[in-house]
Chain A
């Protein structure tokens, strides 16, 4: 058994990026029933295309149905999950007992129980197993030591979050948005009130009044614990972030792929932990914590700041076409000019750094600079492939 690397797929492009950079599986949301109302979300045709793309590369596709549904939505579910099964979706991720029961009675697709369902202990996991769940996604409060015990004693697949944003509350147990913003956080409308600054007036003069981002959590980073996940027989490592950028996705998936692969093969020199850590700090992020993975969340897990930390790199775009005849076509998201140094993130191994000495527009006319949202042609480089992400040292102004 090997540790599965599970990546978020916010849209079809990101699905392809995740798979190409080494994800063993991806999770995505359809247009309904998921927890990210603002994400790109997949149409049925896109799910079909995503499944075909992933399966061709031995990657699995899981579809999230993790919203807490009302009765009228439950009625629409059987048709949707039957279609998912027919398309070859490998599993659905659910958090609601009603969704679980409905999926179970509609088709034979595997069911993974979401972290939203408070999967925190052996007894809960045993319960879901007895109902027919294939896998549980443990709450982010569960340590690897606890997860090991759960895995051993329950005999069911166990998935754990390893990277990305953290809820400060037990998942599913925060309804601030519901009451203050009129948006149901457990149905995809979380307004991220926990990231707001609050002034705190302590009772009985326990402490002077203070302004603080006291409910904002640092981001999870478990890359240094990959060997412990493996030792605990954890089945799948999940990267959070269907709403995040392709640069985040490519960097995190590539780093974790390298870390996981370094456990089992001596194929070539593996990146050092320092190199991987540096990579994970190369894009905009909140400060990191290992969170509950190695024990209880301490007070150091609070991110008492408004903005994330800027990384060293910004995204330039992605390679849309790579052929010896036409060269490389890059969809540019941040402007470039001749002489700029860019870095093409290969799917595996060292990235390719180049200085732009020739640039052409999409009609093959030489240019000296290019603005965002345009197509750029540059000369072909053999190791570069479609879906490679391109980045550049520097920060957005």
Chain B
């Protein structure tokens, strides 16, 4: 595995450009989400890194509405692309634009949110004739990514260390709290939820919108040996903040010569709590089954309808929704209540909506049946199939 790192300002350029990283992701304020280099500075840094023999990538990871895209295209087209080994994009439009207008430029595609299946990733891969890297989502577990690596013909990159982005909005959400608008100046705040136990969200606002980060940071350092022998070719260290940049030496040492005790010491002294995110497993849909009361969900087979009213000791109002054959009094029906009870019973009396007593039901509609204890509104009625 080889390592790379974003350079978003001149300050971290000097601190990061040692031997540890083989590639640098240059982030300008014009084209990247949180970069602060002006284009001239970015090109200057690129020249310097080129002389050091490093790979240099131009980051253009904004999402862009049409009018923004038109402006950014002009900026992009004025840049000397010979300074860069590749261009990294996130917006599908920017990807398509590079593939069609700059077919000889190597492209790195960020598939950060979603794209959690091989069919989709392969779909993106085949759209470019010059795709050199796929940056996969941090929500994909390691075992799945390694499976993908076998099937993809493009190098894969994942994040190894750094802040975890949670939220990207084009709106300026901090600015509204200032008495005077700050224009395009960078605003930074720490958010604490008043309604959940979560605190310490870093929130940044710049000319491109507002970005929120997880209070804890990602670190796969204690899995670095496993990663180093995997088919994942690139590992990214997102080290933009001063507290992160000052850790470069320790991280480099851990990468080349991992020691559990050294890592424990590093963790304990690091300013932020470190997590492995979804590296081992992603169970973010495990709670879905609890979000819906499956007991009130209709099952199609033998379904008749549902109870619309329970008038205790007097009657049941039932909305017969499906009646392909005829329902006769005395036929066995299964009533499934919202709290999970099942009652096997039969109806003895039935009246149509006009109050006329009937023996058989041949069409959907509202009907009044004799009262059956222990039933409740929204109970589902099924014709009993004998199983």
What is the interface of chain A, defined by CB distance below 8 A to chain B? 31, 37-38, 41, 43-46, 49, 68-71, 73-74, 95-102, 116-118, 120-128, 139, 141-143, 146, 149-150, 168-170, 172-184, 186-189, 193-194, 196-204, 206-207, 210-212, 214-215, 217, 292, 296-297, 299, 301-302, 320-321, 323, 325-326, 329, 331, 361-364, 373-375
A38 to B283, CA, bound (A): 17
CB–CB A124/B298 < 8 A: no
CB–CB A329/B65 < 8 A: no
B280-332 at interface with A (beta carbon < 8 Å): 282-288, 291-292, 297-300, 303, 308-309, 311, 314-315, 317, 319, 322
Q: Say yes or no: A214-B176 contact (C-beta < 8 A), given A120-B65, A176-B167, A321-B366.
A: yes
CB–CB B178/A142 < 8 A: no
CB–CB B127/A189 < 8 A: no
CB–CB A44/B353 < 8 A: no
Chain B residues near A101 (CB-CB < 8 A):
119-120, 122-123
B115: interface (CB < 8 Å)? yes
CB–CB A375/B309 < 8 A: yes
B79: interface (CB < 8 Å)? no
A179 to B191, CA, bound (A): 15
CB–CB B177/A200 < 8 A: yes
Chain B residues near A197 (CB-CB < 8 A):
193-195
Complex interface bits, B316-358 against A, C-beta within 8 A gives 1, otherwise 0: 0101001000000000000000000000000000010111000
CB–CB A123/B292 < 8 A: no
CB–CB A173/B167 < 8 A: yes
A184 to B117, CA, bound (A): 15
CB–CB B120/A97 < 8 A: yes
Nearest A residue to B290, CB-CB:
A37
CB–CB A121/B168 < 8 A: no
Nearest chain B CB to A23 CB, angstrom units = 21
Q: Contact partner of B284 among A178, A297, A326, CB < 8 A?
A: A178
Q: Say yes or no: A302-B176 contact (C-beta < 8 A), given A176-B212, A320-B319, A329-B366.
A: yes
Chain B residues near A321 (CB-CB < 8 A):
353, 365-366
Chain A residues near B68 (CB-CB < 8 A):
121
Q: What's the dominant secondary structure at chain B's contact region? A: mixed
CB–CB B170/A186 < 8 A: no
Chain B residues near A146 (CB-CB < 8 A):
65-67
Nearest chain A CB to B192 CB, angstrom units = 5
A96 to B283, CA, bound (A): 19
Chain B residues near A211 (CB-CB < 8 A):
194
29 A-B pairs within 8 Å (CB atoms) are namely A45-B300, A68-B114, A69-B116, A97-B119, A98-B118, A101-B122, A121-B66, A125-B93, A127-B127, A141-B170, A150-B66, A172-B114, A176-B166, A179-B214, A180-B196, A180-B214, A186-B113, A188-B291, A197-B194, A198-B192, A202-B189, A203-B188, A204-B188, A206-B178, A214-B176, A320-B366, A362-B315, A364-B355, A375-B317
Nearest B residue to A195, CB-CB:
B195
A120 to B66, CA, bound (A): 6
CB–CB B117/A362 < 8 A: no
A100 to B123, CA, bound (A): 9
Nearest chain B CB to A204 CB, angstrom units = 8
Q: Which 8 A-B pairs have the closest CB atoms?
A: A98-B120, A299-B176, A123-B93, A68-B114, A124-B93, A45-B300, A98-B119, A184-B284
Chain B residues near A173 (CB-CB < 8 A):
63, 113, 167-168
Task: Find the residue from A49, A98, A118 having the highest chain B CB count within 10 A.
Answer: A98
